Structure formats: C-alpha cells, structure tokens
Amino acid sequence: MLPIRLRDFVEDLDGWLYAVSAYDNEINVGCVLRYVPDNEGERVGPSGQRYRKYDFEDAYARIAREKPAYAGLIQRIPRTDLHRVLKPDLEIPLIAASHPRVKKLLDLFRLPPGAVGCTGSLLCGLENGSSDIDMVVYGEHWFTAQALVKQGIADGRIEGMSPEMWRKVYEKRKPEIPYEVFVLHEQRKWNRGQIEGTYFDILYTRSYDKLAGAPAGKGEVLGKQTIVATVTDASLAFDNPAVYEIAHESVTKVLSFTHTYSGQALTGETIEACGVLEQHGAERWLIVGTTREAKGEYILSKTLLRE
C-alpha cells in the first residue's frame, strides 16, 4: 500500500473520517477528526448516510470524551484501527468527473497523473453548496500550479480574490498581524483564488520519494522568543509544517504549523518571527502555531514590508 501522507483522509472502524495532518504515519496515523456519522448531520454521503462536520475544538473534545486513546497534539490512530484510506491523488478523476469547477482547475494546471488531487469534503463525498475546493499538488509540481494560478488570474480564466473574500479569510484565521499586512503577504503567494465564484486553494504535500526527513515530534520547550533572521531556504515554506531554514546565531529553523504563515517569506529575505523555541537534538527550532489560532505568534517578511 502507498504510504499515508499529509492531506489524505482515513476512516476508522466506526466510520469516523479524519484529515491526515502528518507525514510520520508508519505505526499510528496523525490526523484530526472532521466527520462523524450522525442521523441529524447536515452533510450527506454518497450512500445517503448523514454526517456531522466537526471544527477543531469540538473534534478534540469528542475524541477526548469517546476515544481518549487517540488523543494528543493531533489524534493518533493505530493503523490496525483503519477501515480505509482516501487519497486525493487517486480519487481526483472521479471527483473531476462530477464537479465541473474541479475539472476546470485540472485543465488549467495540466499536470501529470499523480501530481494533483482534491482533498477535504469533496474527497469524502460530503460537500455542500458552500464547500470550497481544496486542491493538493505534490512536490515540485506545486510551484508549476502556483505559476499557473498567477497566469490564470492575469488571463481571466480564474478570478482573483475579492476584497470581501480577503476579509473573510482574515477573520477566519484571526492572525496576529494587521489586515493590510496580512493581505500584502498573501497576495504574492498565488495559492488561492475563485473559479465561477467558488473559493479554491492549492495545498502543498511532499511527493512520495521525499517523505523521509519531514519534521516529527515535539522538542524540549525552552520558552517564547522573537527573532530576526535571514531565510536561507524557503523551498518547503508551503509544506505543513512550513519550514524556513535560517541564518541566525542560535536558531536553525522556523517552523509554522498554521497555514496563515506558510509561504510567508522567500529565500534571501529577512524575517521577524515570534513563537516557542524548542530544542531538537543539537538544533533549536522556533515553532509558530503552537495553538490553533497562533495567539501571540507570527512570521513577517521585513524585506517585503520595506518594499
């Protein structure tokens, strides 16, 4: 079986559906609960079964209450407790066949089979009229898709983000930076847009041959810190966690576990980052996104703000 990786979904033996949120899934799959069968639920699956969608806080509360063995920083499900795995890269042909907007995005990207997929409610067959499109693009192909989003908006094949949509995203994420600064950083990422009025984003996931070496585990917490450093490698800045290799006197990496600060800076730029310092072997990493809304934590490109 192909490795389970970030942005896959898994179903446990009770039919609960989880979004995979980690790469280290050889024994226990790291994920977050998203949908549970519920006769009063607002989502309806392909078989007619109704499901309830869970937000972050409610998901953790239900897991703690009913499946405490899975509880942790993220839920950890033994592979022996899995009923099935849903893979965006394998299910995308079926999804596109019944969703014209997904098909249009696939036509725009023109990527080879296995390079792109669709996750979230569409992958689970639990979408509704207000569902966004969560495209997944694997490895280096992501940067091709990013360039095509930029070009597609310029050509009018897809729509850019309206001020109303930017405000909606900002209010959903509740970042620790002003709205104008948030939008300034976001506008150059070219990882989201609208197609026929439906919001979409393109999410980075490592290719199967690059899964080794993904950050895993929590280090020794050394305390909160704010640093200024130069980014020496931002090639994994759109991954989860986003990874910024930096030149700094004591910190070697800045990691962001919140999507808000993925792609926040480019190689060669100077950043200011505030987060929690952790010791990982001989290295110290600054972690941003130690809570769901990353209260008091942020990454800013000082280079961008000076331009």
CATH of the domain at 238: 2.40.50.140
Whether 82 and 93 share a structural domain: no
pLDDT band for 99, please (50, 70, 90 cuts). very high
Full residue range of the structural domain in which residue 164 is found: 88-208
Q: Give percent above pLDDT 70 in the chain.
A: 99
Rounded Cα gap, residues 127 and 131, in angstroms: 6
Residue pair 246/228 in contact by the 8 Å Cβ criterion: no
Question: Given this model, what pLDDT does residue 111 score?
Answer: 94
Whether 196 and 185 share a structural domain: yes
Whether 75 and 96 share a structural domain: no
Give the domain-ending residue among 86, 108, 139. Answer: 86
Q: Which amino acid is at 182?
A: F
Whether 81 and 92 share a structural domain: no
Q: Which residue has the higher pLDDT, 105 or 291?
A: 105
Question: Given this model, what pLDDT does residue 95 score?
Answer: 96
pLDDT digits (tens, 9 = 90+) for 216-228: 778 899 999 999 9
Residue pair 133/204 in contact by the 8 Å Cβ criterion: no
Alpha-carbon 172 to chain mean position: 14
Residue 100 makes CB contacts below 8 A (sequence gap 6+) with none
pLDDT digits (tens, 9 = 90+) for 182-222: 999 999 999 999 999 899 999 999 999 999 877 777 889 99
Whether 106 and 200 share a structural domain: yes
Give the domain-ending residue among 30, 62, 86. Answer: 86
Alpha-carbon 241 to chain mean position: 8
pLDDT digits (tens, 9 = 90+) for 34-85: 999 999 999 999 999 999 999 989 999 999 999 999 999 899 999 999 999 9
Q: Given a cut of 80, is residue 164 above it in pLDDT? A: yes
Global pTM? 0.93
pLDDT digits (tens, 9 = 90+) for 249-287: 999 999 999 889 999 999 999 999 999 999 999 999 999
Give the domain-ending residue among 86, 114, 135. Answer: 86
Whether 104 and 193 share a structural domain: yes
249 backbone dihedrals φ, ψ, rounded to 5°: -65, -25
Rounded Cα gap, residues 57 and 127, in angstroms: 21
Which tokens hold the place of 115?
């390079």
Tell which residue, 302, 278, 272, 280, has the closest CA to residue 290.
278
Whether 93 and 158 share a structural domain: yes
Question: Given this model, what pLDDT does residue 197 score?
Answer: 87
Q: Given a cut of 90, is residue 290 above it in pLDDT? A: no
Question: Given this model, what pLDDT does residue 295 score?
Answer: 84
